[in-house]
Amino acid sequence: MTTTQRRGARLGDEAMVDALIIGRRIRAIRKQRGLTLESLAQAIERAPSQISALENGHREPKLSQLRRIAEVLAVPLDDLIGGDEPPDERASHEIELERIQRSVGFSSLGLPAVRVGPRLGDDALATIVGLYRKIEQLRDDRQATPEEARRVNAELRTTMRASDNYFESIDDEAEGLLETLGYAGGPLPQRLTAALAEHLGVTLHYVDDLPQSTRSVLDERNGRIYLPQSVIGSGDSRAAVLQALSSKVLGHTVPADYAEFLRQRVESNYFAGAMLMPRTRSVERLRAAKANKDLAIDDFRDAYAVSYETAAHRFTNLATEFLDLPVHFVKVHESGTIWKAYENDSVCFPTDSLGAIEGQTCCRHWTSRIVFAETDHFSPFAQYTDTPTGTFWCAARVLASSQGRVSVSVGTDFTHARWFRGGNTTSRAVSTCPDENCCRIPPAHLREKWEDQCWPATRPHASLLAALPQGVFPGVDTTDVYEFLERHAPPEPSPTADERNRP
């Protein structure tokens, strides 16, 4: 079978032949030959409308018909069906516009279709195609794929490391608000959290039908913040309110892309921590503990009645700037997956090709993994770990989460461990990761027994495959949010008599 015959046998295969490209080639060659639609149609005994539909890609070409056209145009059949390149730039733009207007994305815009014909100028054609490309680019920017999320997360961590995870302007803002509210020290009273909302001109509303994709909703139109009823009386109710109020305090605007969305989320969490654990008093407390060589996240947590994770995060904000301590933080799921991480002490976290740490597997010999085997979860577990980049001390706790147990760890390099409670621990381990022989390959005695004798069924995580829902705020179903606001918005005031009588 010849090349032409093989191509002809597969003319129905869209992967092999593109009706739009074939049609534009026929048109280009016809015009080169000086033939009109009518003359070509007459030569192959077809109506001009059929040739027009063929040239515009609206009709699937038949092999017998293409052979007749090739004979009339005096070209080999391969010149019509060979390759996948349009005959010229004009044809390329015409084909792209035809495909655009047949797409679901174009239909969703609700715009009328443009007739792709000779009266449409080259400049206008190129502009229309270029505008749609830009629309698609903006859509892609706002649709955070797992790869994009990991890349942006890695870039944000680099920025945080450069500032030692300390955002002075946010701490300044928090200290100013606390002074205005009359904060006197210790755990932030819930009444002051409510007073902050009043100070910002919003009211708090607790509901049982908050959209599942949100943790709060700010209604700017009516000056309301909606929160789930589940936070009432919970240990993090103040944090939930503070995070919800942060966008007004920090002047956040609609994020232009996923990077800005993620930065705003980090800033919101930072603001909540700065309000719950104010900088001036926190630094005084931490400096005193360091002087006594008794730094402990547990004490920091208890002093301000916050969660262990909140205290650990806040410690990393202040440790380097005010205590001259390089630190690292890591949150690990019991499966071994790293959920969150930060470091400026040169600890070597595993990364993917994009530089992202989140989603990677934590070494089995690190404190973050070994702590799960400890039976005493009332006290933190501390350990020294020898790694390829040095020896690091770390203290970890196991906490509960909606997706299973997690460990939260805070540590530093060997030389600074003496300032921490637990720095005298005798627990020690060795990690040679990323060397796969460290913990990624099962021990020899287990491999010999089970290597060919089991077939585990993987539990895939859909989030690793699916992009976040499209919208201004990645991961948020905007329609759900708007419908929610419609249900809860206060009734519009009735028009006055004067308003009703106005022309």
CA of 304: how far to CAs of 167, 270, 282, 301, in Å?
A: 20, 15, 9, 6
Helix, coil or strand: residue 307: coil
Question: CA–CA separation, 84 vs 278, rounded Å?
Answer: 64
Predicted pLDDT of residue 395: 96
Predicted pLDDT of residue 15: 34
Length of the chain equals 503
pTM higher than the cut 0.85: no
Which mean pLDDT values do the consecutive 10-residue runs of the chain (503 residues) have?
Answer: 39 50 84 86 86 79 83 84 75 82 74 82 86 75 64 86 94 96 93 93 91 85 88 76 92 83 91 96 97 96 95 96 96 92 91 82 93 87 94 95 92 96 95 85 78 66 46 63 83 69 60
Pairing of strands 390-401, 404-413: antiparallel
Question: Rg for the chain (alpha carbons), in Å?
Answer: 32
Q: 327 and 343 in contact (C-beta within 8 Å)?
A: yes
Q: 58 and 98 in contact (C-beta within 8 Å)?
A: no
- Burial degree of 29 (CB within 10 A; 0-12, 13-18, 19+): buried
Question: CA–CA separation, 250 vs 264, rounded Å?
Answer: 9
For residue 142, what are the contacts with CB-CB under 8 A and spacing of at least 6?
257, 258, 470, 471, 472, 474
For residue 112, what are the contacts with CB-CB under 8 A and spacing of at least 6?
none
Predicted pLDDT of residue 260: 86
Predicted pLDDT of residue 288: 97
Q: Is the peptide bond before 380 cis (omega within 30 degrees of 0)?
A: no
Count Cα neighbours of 4 within 13 Å in the Cβ-side half-sphere: 11
Mind giving me the DSSP string for 93-144?
HHHHHHHHHTSHHHHTTTPPPPP-STTS-HHHHHHHHHHHHHHHHHHHHHS-
Predicted pLDDT of residue 199: 94
For residue 464, what are the contacts with CB-CB under 8 A and spacing of at least 6?
146, 359
Nearest to 64 by CA among 86, 42, 81: 81
Predicted pLDDT of residue 1: 37
The one-letter amino acid code at 292 reads: N
Predicted pLDDT of residue 421: 95
| Per-residue DSSP letter, 361 | B
Predicted pLDDT of residue 57: 76
